[in-house]
Structures are given as structure tokens and as C-alpha cells.
Amino acid sequence: MTLYCNPNATGIEHTEYSFGYKNEWHSDVEVGLWRIDIPTNRGLDEKGRVDTIGIGVDNVPYVTFGHTCDQDLKQSVLIN
């Protein structure tokens, strides 16, 4: 299986602290939107549409997500 990632946000520099270390990273990510609508067995909702559950609703129709395509640790320093 081949996994495909097309980064549309590149060169992101960020720092995180873990177990007494300061880690500096360089990342390329793919950012996008998604929505999941799953029909329920309840019939129609109050607006006459098929009742659904899922992620995303009328006032916030999509959820933003980011997927890390490539990440390189630039530096890791012990910070006692």
C-alpha cells in the first residue's frame, strides 16, 4: 500500500518540551476540511431533511485538520 501526502503548508518551525528536553522541529503538513454525515434511523429532522449524526453541522459545516507529511528534528537540548 502506498500512502500519499501532498503538503500544502511547508517549513513550519515549532518547539515542544518533553522529558526535560527542548525539541525544535521542521514540519510539512497537509491541511484540509472534512465533514461526516451518517444517516440515522430516526427519519426526518425538524427541517424535513434526513436526520444525521457526525462531524460538522450547519453553523460549523467543516472541521479543519492537518496531517503531518514530513517532520525533522532540528535540535534537541537538555534543559535541566
| 8 A C-beta contact, residue 29 and residue 64 | no
| 8 A C-beta contact, residue 27 and residue 70 | yes
Could you tell me the pLDDT band of residue 2, with boundaries at 50, 70 and 90? low
Q: With a threshold of 0.85, does the pTM exceed it?
A: no
| 8 A C-beta contact, residue 35 and residue 53 | no
**Nearest in space to 23 (alpha carbons), one of 58, 72, 62, 68:** 72
Instruction: Give every CB contact of residue 43 below 8 A, 6+ residues apart in sequence.
Output: 50, 51
Mean pLDDT of 15-41: 92
- 56 pairs with which residues across the strands? none
| pLDDT for residue 50 | 87
Residue pLDDT, tens place only, 33-75? 888 888 888 888 888 888 888 887 777 778 888 889 999 999 9
